[in-house]
Amino acid sequence: MSENRAAPGGSVRLAPGLEVSRIGLGANQLLGPHGFGHPKDRLSSLAVLRRAVELGITHLDSGERYRPRVANGLIREAIQPCPADLVVATTAGVEEDGWRLPYAYRRASALATDVDNDLSELGKEQLDLVLLFGGATSDNDGVPLSQGLEVLAELRERGLIRHIGLNECWPEGVSLACEITPIAAVQADFDLFRPQDDDLRSACLERGVVFVARYESADAMLRTADEEQLRALDAVATRHGASRVQTALAWLLARFPADAILLGARTVAELEENVAAGRLHLRPTDLARLARP
C-alpha cells in the first residue's frame, strides 16, 4: 500500500479477514437534500468517492435507506475496479417509502430482498457487511431481532453475505445478537460530548464488538458542544494549526481507540480535511484540556 493509501486514523479489525480504516465515509451527503434522491452534482459525488479510496479509506457505508436508491449506483460507478480491501457496508430492514421504519414492521423475508437489491446495484456476488436495522423485542412488536438475524445468517451460509452487523440496536440487543451469531460491528449516532450517556457503546465494549460512531457530517459532531467545549477545541486546534472539526475528530480517535468512525462529506475538500485529522496526534495535555474544559 502506497503512502497515501495508509488507512486514515489507523485500522480496526471488525472480524477475521475484515479490517477497515478507522475513518470511513458515509454516502448520504453525496445524495440529494437530506440524504434523499439524486445528487445535484453527480460528478462531484463521484469525485468524493474516488478520492476517498485514493486517500486510503477502506470503509464505505451506502446509507441505502430511502427511495430512490442512489448511493449503491454511485459507489459502483465511481470505484472500478474495486480494491480488494474496500468494505462497503449496507443496511437491511428499512422501509423504502421515504420513512425510517425498522424492519420490525416488515416480514423477515423482506430482508432477503434488501440483500438482493444491494448485490445487484453494487454489482457484487457477495456483500462485505450487512447491518440489520432496528429490531423488535417480542412478536407483539413485529419481527423479533432473533428472527431477522437468522435470516441474515442463512444468507451468509449461502455465500451472499460475509459478515453481519447491527444498525440502531438497543444495548440489550447487542448481547442477544451475539448469542445468535457473530456480530462484526454496531453502527449508531454518537454524542462525542456526552459519551457517559451512551449505553449502546458500552454494551459493544463488553461484548468485544467494534462500535462505529456515525455522523452525518464532520460539523454534526459539534452540534451538542457548549461554549466552553468549543473554546477548548479552538485552543487545542490553534496549538496544532488544525481546524476545530479536525481536533474533534482527533479527540474521538484518541479517546476510543477501538472504535471506527463514519463521516459524510459533501466535497473533496471536506473529505480531505476529515482524513487529515487522522494524522493529528494530540498530547496528553491536549486530551486533559478537552476532557475538562
Q: Which residues pair with 165 in a beta bridge?
A: 131
Q: Grid coordinates 475538562 are at which residue?
A: 292
Three-class secondary structure of residue 243 per DSSP: coil
Q: Grid coordinates 473529505 are at which residue?
A: 271
Cell of 169: 440496536
Element holding 19 (H helix, E strand): strand 18-21
215 is catalytic: no
Q: What letter does residue 279 receive in the DSSP assignment? A: G
The answer to whether 286 touches 236, Cβ cutoff 8 Å, is yes
- 145 vs 108: CA distance, rounded Å: 10
Q: For the chain, how big is the Rg over CA atoms in Å?
A: 19
The angle formed by the CA atoms of residues 127, 131 and 133, to the nearest 5 degrees, is 140
| Alpha helices, DSSP H, located in the chain | 42-54, 71-78, 110-122, 145-157, 171-180, 199-207, 227-240, 244-255, 268-276, 284-291
Identified catalytic residue from 66, 103, 105, 215: 66
- 74 vs 49: CA distance, rounded Å: 8
Residue 27: CB atoms within 10 A of its CB come to: 26
Active-site residue set: 66
